[in-house]
Amino acid sequence: MAVPKRKVSRSNTRHRRSQWKAKRPDLVPVVIDGRRQLIPRKLVAAAHRGYLADQS
């Protein structure tokens, strides 16, 4: 039978949450429509295939 987990104190919960930090994505320079733009590394392949269009 399932047993509930023990209650974690509030201070321990907050201390654990504070350890997680968001990181900025690596930005890579890519030329899109003749303009050099910085895009996240995950989107480089999409930019080379032409999926990213100039938004201005």
Domain ranges of the chain: 22-56
1-39: pLDDT as tens digits: 677 777 767 777 777 766 777 788 899 999 888 889 999
Whether 38 and 29 have beta carbons less than 8 Å apart is answered as yes
pLDDT, position 50: 86
Contacts of 13 (CB under 8 A, 6+ apart): none
**Cα–Cα distance list, 42 to 27, 28, 45, 54 (Å):** 9, 9, 7, 18
Q: Specify the pLDDT at position 55.
A: 56
Phi, psi angles (nearest 5°) of residue 53: -105, 160
